Amino acid sequence: MARQLFSSRTRKALESLDAVVSVSAARITYSEDFRKECMRRYAQGESPAAIFREAGLDPKIIGYKRIERCIARWRDKQAQ
C-alpha cells in the first residue's frame, strides 16, 4: 500500500496544531510535549485514536496506521 501524502492545505492545517512541529508531504513530526502526554494517557488506557483526535489530528486524515506506528515507536523508545 502506498504511503498517504498530504496536500499543501492539509500540511498547513496540521502545522497550526500545538501537537505538530512540522509536516512534509509524507511525514509528521510531533512535539515532545505531545508525545509525552500521548504516552501518559495511553498508559492510563485511553485510545490512541481518541488522544490524537482530541489534539486535532483526525485519524481519517492522518491515518489509523500512522497513529498505531507512532504509539509502537514511542512505547519502544520508552522501554529503552
pLDDT in tens, 43-64: 999 999 999 999 999 999 999 9
- Taking the mean position of all CA atoms in its chain, how far away is CA 26? 13
pLDDT in tens, 16-52: 999 999 999 999 999 999 999 999 999 999 999 999 9
CB atoms near residue 53 (< 10 Å): 16
Q: What are phi and psi of 8, to 5 degrees?
A: -65, -35
Q: Indicate the length of the chain as a whole number.
A: 80
Q: Report the chain's C-alpha Rg in angstroms.
A: 12
